[in-house]
């Protein structure tokens, strides 16, 4: 047997989980499920480090995690075993051996999240757990103007859901895009708006609060220039309502 640091890429539907992070009052978290399965599978205590803590109900297409394990198996066999014993709403899409010092969260350089809005008058039935139905006429140009003011390095205290945050709230958001796309199921087309965020890190609830604020701009309830005042206020009460969790997906993590 040899000790290996295994890095895995994960997909999960977060609908029925209480978020990524292990919690003392529930075993129904993605990290908790992974650790319980791996510890039983390899008959040793295994701690899983995720690249970030997705909220309850948030999904992932490219969550990255690592764990140390004493095993003769290679990454291909480990991936096969994990997919055999994981719940059907969690899957490993890649596994590899990495340097012993690699840490999925500490070594992450950037993360990309996408929020999906279904804007047509027909409520989506299939895939509804990954998209927010928002049958409104949104002003996307105004939303893009507002998004531009939120990019760059800022103190994002106003967009942090943790009012008792003691660490720095300064983050760099490198891009926010607002794009129109069309999806289809059978002969029915569904217009969607995708809001995609890339940055070096995001605070608790930060993306969902930014989405809620941008939606208020799109509805004409705020002006794009309000974003500057909101950032400068460093006050959560100045930003918009937090968008529901189920429209948000962690798409990828860069190292």
Q: Which of 183, 172, 176 is nearest to 214 (CA)?
A: 176
> Are the C-beta atoms of 12 and 32 separated by less than 8 Å?
no
CA 225 – CA 57 distance, rounded (Å) = 31
> In Å, how far are 47, 67, 118 from 35, measured between CA atoms?
6, 9, 35
160-169, long-range: CB within 8 Å, 24+ apart, which pairs? 160/203, 160/204, 160/205, 160/206, 160/209, 160/236, 161/203, 161/204, 161/205, 161/206, 161/208, 161/209, 161/236, 161/242, 162/203, 162/204, 162/205, 163/236, 165/203, 165/204, 169/203, 169/234
Catalytic residue among 27, 55, 137, 139: 55
At 163, list the tokens: 């009012």
The β-bridge partners of 91 are 11
Query: How much is the CA Rg of the chain, to the nearest whole Å?
Result: 19
Tell me, yes or no, if 139 is annotated catalytic.
Answer: no
Q: Which of 138, 152, 111 is nearest to 214 (CA)?
A: 138
CA 90 – CA 14 distance, rounded (Å) = 9
* Residues with a known catalytic role: 55
């Amino acid at each position: 047997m040899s000790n290996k640091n295994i890095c895995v890429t994960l997909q999960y539907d977060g609908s029925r989980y209480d978020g990524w992070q292990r919690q003392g009052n529930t075993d129904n978290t993605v990290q908790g499920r992974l650790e319980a399965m791996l510890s039983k599978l390899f008959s040793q205590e295994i701690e899983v480090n995720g690249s970030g803590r997705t909220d309850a109900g948030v999904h992932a297409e490219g969550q990255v995690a690592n764990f140390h394990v004493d095993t003769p198996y290679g990454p291909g066999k480990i991936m096969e075993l994990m997919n055999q014993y994981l719940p059907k709403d969690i899957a490993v899409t890649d596994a590899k051996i990495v340097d012993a010092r690699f840490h999925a969260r500490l070594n992450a350089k950037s993360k990309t999240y996408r929020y999906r809005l279904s804007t047509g008058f027909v409520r989506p039935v299939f895939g509804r757990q990954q998209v927010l139905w928002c049958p409104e006429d949104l002003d996307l140009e105004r939303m893009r103007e507002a998004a531009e003011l939120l990019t760059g390095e800022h103190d994002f205290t106003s967009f942090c859901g943790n009012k008792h945050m003691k660490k720095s709230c300064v983050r760099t958001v490198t891009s926010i895009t607002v794009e129109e796309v069309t999806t289809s199921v059978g002969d029915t087309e569904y217009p969607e708006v995708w809001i995609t965020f890339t940055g070096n890190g995001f605070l608790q609830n930060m993306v969902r609060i930014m989405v809620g604020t941008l939606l208020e701009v799109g509805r004409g309830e705020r002006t794009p220039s309000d974003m500057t005042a909101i950032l400068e206020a460093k006050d959560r009460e100045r930003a918009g309502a937090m968008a529901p969790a189920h429209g948000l997906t962690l798409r990828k993590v860069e190292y």
